[in-house]
Structure 1
Amino acid sequence: MLLALVVTLLAGLATSVGGFIGTRSTMLRPGMMAVALAFAAGLMMTISLVEIAPAALESMTRSLGRGVAVVSVLGVMALGAGVVYALRRLLPHRPAPGVPDVRGLDPTLLRSGVLIGLVVALHNLPEGLATFLSTVEDPAGGVVLALAIAIHNVPEGLAVAAPIYAATRDRTQAVLWATLSGLAEPLGGLLGYLALRAVLPADRLDLSLALVAGMMVAVSLLELVPGARRYAVGRREVVVGLVLGAAVMVVSLALLRL
């Protein structure tokens, strides 16, 4: 169990590497910020629609049947999107009336970064469980799985840190948010393992995956793509970012299945 916890922790902390990349000064350029935000959108939509939602659907189909499973997954994804919409209304997105923003900060970007951090953390909970259980059962296989997960945790950390750094100019805060989102991996692994020992119904985990998928798609469409278009110098940055994000996630998922 100790080895499993350490392996899961190291995989999760790969988001810190992405956090450092996302706080380079080049990320403050409008064109680069547009690419980074679009990259995050491509990354999150791809893993949601190609990996997370189908995995939830496949698992629930075995226990509930195809029709009920489809309705359940789509319904929970819609619920996840609704949660993101509600959070957007609660989190600050503009300066208070009459208060000048003397630091030149962008509260909209800050909100986007916080939302991404929360959603990535939720996504990392079941991911951490998979790594933890794999390492407990087969240490060699668990290490390989953790390496593949670490690879796609790097761009996730970048997706969290880049908008927060651009909004606050605070490198420490941006990297901290990226790191915290990654620490959900060992937390999910340990808590999930204990929950399974207490015979937690498996369908709850499946529904949580569908919820996260809906939240990721909503954050991408409501926050990241509009933000990328706002910072783009031309149309090319948004398209390049979306394609790169999708490609990186497809490659990392392929490595995950080796």
Structure 2
Amino acid sequence: MNPILYATLVGAAVGALGTGIGALAVFFIKIKGKRISAVLMGLSAGIMLSVVLFDMLPESMESAGWPLALVWFAAGAFALFLINKFMPHHDVSASGNSELIRDLKQDRLVRSGFLLAMGIAVHNLPEGLALGSGLVSASSFGFGLAVLLFVHNIPEGMGLAIPLKLGGVKYSRILLTAVLAALPMAVGALVGALVGNISPTVLGGSVAFGGGAMLYLTFSELLPQAAGLYKGWPTWAGLAAGAVFGGILVALV
């Protein structure tokens, strides 16, 4: 098979299967009551937090150096701040209608899920670049990286699927969103295979940008919504469990 086509197909499979399996796992979680919903949102936040702090940020600092990585990290957070600022928002407290308040909360959960998918898509591009470059230059390294990225994408798929499920989005649409968020990995793999060696500075800066976007969403959207669903320990229990789960997966790969 043509090596460029091979790299592109591997990138597509790694991204779609990893993120898709993570999203599918959420389908089997039964949601009963606000307490469980708060735990799940905390779990989503914890997973994203661990992926960013234990994986993406250290990787970007190692590749691009910490000053440049922090600059791109801040740029990613600011970019998502601007996107979020100009998206339509509804004031949940502006109405006393309980049914309307519930619908508005669901709308916000859905928005958070789609914003999170955007953040994941952004950082999948540089990962695809590294994968494509690795597959055409050193097949053993490329295969090992493919396995690593596959496992890495599973918690991300879970993280983006949780708010979408809580927002009432259909399973088919959640799965489609997860797969679309993974597609930039295929594009990156294609470009990486065509170009060959990619500058570590470029890769590190791109990963940092995606990490900043995801961290911003964790603190501005996921955690506040989890706390709003149910006051008290469920949010923090979910956050701790998600951080431990994500940290274990990062450590394993």
Judge same fold: TM > 0.5, yes or no: yes
1:149-188 matched pairs, under 5 angstroms: 149-188=149-188
- Report the Cα distance in structure 1 between the residues aligned to 2:198 and 2:127, rounded to whole angstroms: 17
- Report the Cα distance in structure 1 between the residues aligned to 2:215 and 2:169, rounded to whole angstroms: 27
Residue 206 (structure 2) aligned to one of 205, 208, 223: 208
Normalised TM-score (structure 2): 0.83
Deviations 1:238-257 (A, max 9, x none): 2232222222322222332x
Match of 2:25 in 1: 21
**Structure 1 portions without partners, runs of 5+:** 62-68
Q: Percent identity?
A: 29
Match of 2:7 in 1: 4
1:92 to partner: Cα distance: 3.0
Match of 1:45 in 2: 49
RMSD after superposition: 2.9
- Report the Cα distance in structure 2 between the residues aligned to 1:103 and 1:170, rounded to whole angstroms: 17
Match of 1:139 in 2: 139
- Answer yes or no: is the 8 Å Cα contact 2:127–2:207 preserved in 1: no
- Report the Cα distance in structure 1 between the residues aligned to 2:211 and 2:243, rounded to whole angstroms: 15
Equivalent position amino acid for 1:152 in 2: H
Deviations 1:104-156 (A, max 9, x none): 46111011101100001111112222233333334344333322322231221
Match of 2:235 in 1: 238
The answer to whether residue 70 in structure 2 is matched with residue 58 in structure 1 is no
**Structure 2 portions without partners, runs of 5+:** none
1:225 to partner: Cα distance: 0.8
1:26 aligned counterpart, secondary structure:
coil
- Report the Cα distance in structure 2 between the residues aligned to 1:151 and 1:30, rounded to whole angstroms: 30
Match of 2:34 in 1: 30
- Report the Cα distance in structure 1 between the residues aligned to 2:80 and 2:122, rounded to whole angstroms: 13
- Report the Cα distance in structure 1 between the residues aligned to 2:217 and 2:228, rounded to whole angstroms: 16
- Report the Cα distance in structure 1 between the residues aligned to 2:207 and 2:8, rounded to whole angstroms: 21
- Report the Cα distance in structure 2 between the residues aligned to 1:182 and 1:115, rounded to whole angstroms: 14
- Answer yes or no: is the 8 Å Cα contact 1:109–1:227 preserved in 2: yes
Q: How many residues align?
A: 245
- Answer yes or no: is the 8 Å Cα contact 1:92–1:108 preserved in 2: no
1:220 to partner: Cα distance: 0.6
**Alpha carbons of structure 1 residues 20 and 167: separation in structure 2 relative to 1, 3 Å:** same
